[in-house]
A = this chain, B = another copy of it.
């Protein structure tokens, strides 16, 4: 698998014209779910035959926040945890990784922690068994969203799953209002999971409302398709998609095409295609989250879009070569070494 190396295919500013605010206490504040991954220890077989599992912190925004913190970004979180052993495990893990958890509240209604049991039948045949009923993360309420923390952050990362149900949906929409009020940039990671959503129409409506208020929008082609349910883009054109969002607040739109790589469009007309770094893949989980952490690290460091994409791709290759997602998030030095080894031909895809 090739996970990286971006190519600037259309001329534009290196930064794509996107500017992020400076002089704030946090580089990145993530909002959304905090869950538990239970990864089968016995891999390359169906879950019916696995007997032991290892516990990790999981959930896309949790993974991105952990990845961002490992890369040295000053990171905070807005979310909600169950009042149980799983919730306390997650909060302890975040704190030990240096993430500010003042924005993380605790449910008192008996909600549980979301679970994801992973099944790895082969490196390319992975699936997840989710427990998402009555989860604490979707009970985050608007009054628990700290306007102050958002005002003190350079970038708000919103995971689309937070829009899947009330009151988390309203909390997420309010967070976007706070971000726009205070000039905090918004990165919207669509992160579509069918659980909890009631209908594709509902999904399309809220994803569009959130994207309208976002500076950076990241998703797969299929995720953007789901947002265009009430539109006319029969060719599923990425350029059409990007240009629609440049008509709102967006400055950067990234469409992911799986193995075919990602395309980043910038408002100034730039178009950047990333190709991948090789990896000895164990499973595909976590690739998107480590990519996002690495890419946002680059943007927040003032790097060009190309260099940021390349860095994100290398970070993704590291995570897919490992058994876990959150635990495997690399440091800057680990990413740099991985890139160097790839360039020396020491790492080849399986």
Chain A residues engaging chain B, CB cutoff 8 angstroms: 38, 41, 46-48, 50-55, 84-86, 88-89, 92, 112, 115, 117, 119, 129, 131, 133-134, 141-143, 147, 166-167, 170, 173-174, 177-178, 198-199, 201-202, 204-206, 208-209, 230
Q: How far is the CB of A181 from chain B (nearest CB, A)?
A: 9
Q: A53-B55, A133-B112, A173-B209 are in contact. Are A89 and B199 (CB under 8 A)?
A: no
Q: How far apart sit A209 and B133, CA to CA, in the bound complex (Å)? A: 28
Nearest neighbor of A203 in chain B, beta-carbon distance: B170
Which residues in B have their C-beta under 8 angstroms from that of A198?
A: 166-167
Which residues in B have their C-beta under 8 angstroms from that of A147?
A: 230
Give this chain's copy count: 4
Q: How far is the CB of A94 from chain B (nearest CB, A)?
A: 13
Beyond known contacts A53-B55, A131-B131, A142-B202: 18 more, CB 8 A cutoff:
A38-B53, A47-B85, A48-B92, A85-B119, A85-B129, A115-B115, A133-B134, A141-B199, A142-B204, A142-B205, A143-B201, A166-B202, A170-B201, A173-B205, A174-B201, A174-B205, A177-B230, A209-B209
Subset of 16 A-B contacts with CB under 8 Å: A38-B53, A47-B85, A47-B86, A48-B88, A50-B55, A84-B129, A112-B131, A112-B133, A115-B115, A141-B199, A141-B201, A142-B201, A166-B198, A170-B201, A170-B205, A178-B230
Q: How far apart sit A117 and B167, CA to CA, in the bound complex (Å)? A: 28
Q: How far apart sit A169 and B46, CA to CA, in the bound complex (Å)? A: 33
